[in-house]
Chain A
Amino acid sequence: MNRFLTMLGLTAFLAGCGGPDHPPPAPDKAQLEVKLVAKANPDVHGPRSDSEDAYSSSGSNPEKGRCYERVDYDDMGDIAVWLRGGGLGEGGPVPATARLRVGDDGADHRLVLLGPKKRTQLTLENGTKKTLTLGCQGPKNDGFLATVPPGKEAVVTLSEPGVYEMTCDEDECLLVTLVVAPTSWAALGRSGSDVFFDNLPPGEFEVVVQAPRLPDVIRKVSARAGARSKVEAKVSVTCLESVK
């Protein structure tokens, strides 16, 4: 019983603190917790029994099964979250480096998050046995074109905020979305987890969430000094206009 009460008390304490993983906010700064939820179309059912064997990755034809690989909404990575709005300033957690490996099975990420003004160095690693030509061109004519020999790397940067599609001359199917956030207040997350921004200047912001192959989600948030704001972002195709 004592143990139960202790646990109950501890739970209440942690709930009051807003969670065990993050420190309380500084008096003059705000915190923001973005909960990432990815949802499949609720009408999607599993493969029907007669197709499951032949078409699953572990079935009689795993090669074919690969084509039928399903989107795992419960474990979706490479979800970019960034903030926009006045007064954000510097100091955000956008990574200084990012890495993308291209192997025989394609790229190891579908989306890469970069900071603005060449803040993030993107290393392109060629894990194949042939030279790769990787490039992109953004909406404001910013871009790169890198020729990467087998087993080698190239480092590229982008300046203008926006969404770029990196393609490969040698592999028509390779497509990686490069998101250059407009501010340094940007981070990557996974479905079912939170992205946490600490020491945020108080103010009114928009939270933009972009998951690979899914429509953007935009949420308005008011971040107050000394407080933690929470927002849930649900990425799903169900937010699109339905056409029957």
Chain B
Amino acid sequence: MTLFRRFIPWAAASALAVTALAWRPFADAAEDRGPAALTPVADTGSVAGKATFSVARPKQPIIVYLERDGGEIAGKKPEPLMIGQKGAQFNPSFAVVVTGQEVVFNNDEDKEIDHNVYTLGAEQKNFDIFPRGKSVHYNFSNAGEVSLYCSVHKLMDGKLFVAPSAAWAEIADDGSFSIPNIAPGAYTVRTYQKAKRFRDVELKVVVKAGETAKVPVEMTR
């Protein structure tokens, strides 16, 4: 556990880097419209707001995401997310992926060490044993939280949040969030917390072209 802790800053930095990598196609497509920008749609709106917290929030990610009422949210599929396993650690140890996005579990150990990655939660799969230098590819199709484990190594834990679409954003330290390039229509705003401390939020919002729908996300216990 001690070493596990020493890896936290490194793992957090890696998580940011890999998440940024996963976001790149949106940035390419939408040019500086923000990390969560969807495929540009003419006459789109956005959803933004500032979250408030009834008690101090944990220093772990809180995600705001949208579900379209009665339909799906179109968007370009992000590039594959690579999850390394060097040092018997998932790297990144946490990431947000989108349904249908390819996730690559890569055994990048520098020694001949096997891993048996499996998942519990929204999708429960066993990726079986794979040796150093090998990887397995998988597209998660069920939205929700997925816990990552290795059946060999007891401290090898990770988590994914599989968002239903690319219409998501992480709540910043100051509580702000913004999800741009949303097609007009009725949506449900939901939250996901990696460390569950508050009641998850469920709000209705209507997005209009050229406007920003302000959403008050009140996280209470």
Chain A residues with CB under 8 Å of chain B are 40-41, 43-45, 47-48, 50-51, 54-55, 63-64, 66-72, 104-106, 133, 135-138, 141, 143, 145, 164-165, 167, 169, 171-173, 175, 213-215, 237-238, 240-244
Contact = CB atoms under 8 A, between A and B. Distances in A.
Interface string B98-116: 0000000000000111101
Given A44-B152, A172-B8, 17 more contacts: A41-B126, A44-B116, A47-B113, A51-B111, A70-B152, A71-B153, A104-B2, A105-B1, A106-B1, A133-B58, A135-B58, A137-B198, A169-B59, A169-B195, A240-B119, A242-B128, A244-B136
A238 B113 contact: no
A71 B113 contact: no
A40 B151 contact: yes
B3 A241 contact: no
Given A165-B196, A243-B127, A137 B221 contact: yes
24 contacts: A40-B151, A41-B129, A44-B129, A47-B113, A63-B2, A63-B3, A64-B3, A67-B4, A67-B87, A68-B113, A69-B155, A70-B152, A71-B152, A71-B154, A135-B58, A143-B221, A145-B55, A165-B195, A167-B196, A172-B60, A173-B4, A213-B149, A237-B151, A242-B128
Majority DSSP secondary structure for residues of A touching B: mixed
B120 A215 contact: yes
Interface in B168-221: 193, 195-199, 221
A41 B149 CA distance: 13
B3 A66 contact: yes
B126 A240 contact: yes
B154 to A, nearest CB: 5
Contacts of B128: 41, 43, 242-244
B196 A137 contact: yes
A167 B62 CA distance: 14
B153 A70 contact: yes
Contacts of B87: 64, 67
B70 to A, nearest CB: 25
A167 B58 contact: yes
A141 B199 contact: yes
A172 B169 CA distance: 21
B157 interface: yes
Interface residues of B, number: 45
A242 B5 CA distance: 31
Contacts of B193: 137
A237 B118 contact: yes
B150 to A, nearest CB: 8
A124 B80 CA distance: 41
Contacts of B119: 240
Contact of B157 (A137, A175, A238): A175
Interface string B1-40: 1111100100000000000000000000000000000000
A43 B88 CA distance: 18
B113 A51 contact: yes
B125 A55 contact: no
B165 interface: no
A70 B113 CA distance: 12
A72 B155 CA distance: 12
Contact of A243 (B4, B8, B58, B125): B125
Contacts of B221: 137, 143, 145
A73 B41 CA distance: 53
A143 to B, nearest CB: 7
Nearest to A242: B126
A173 B8 contact: yes
A51 B151 contact: no
Contacts of A169: 56, 58-59, 195
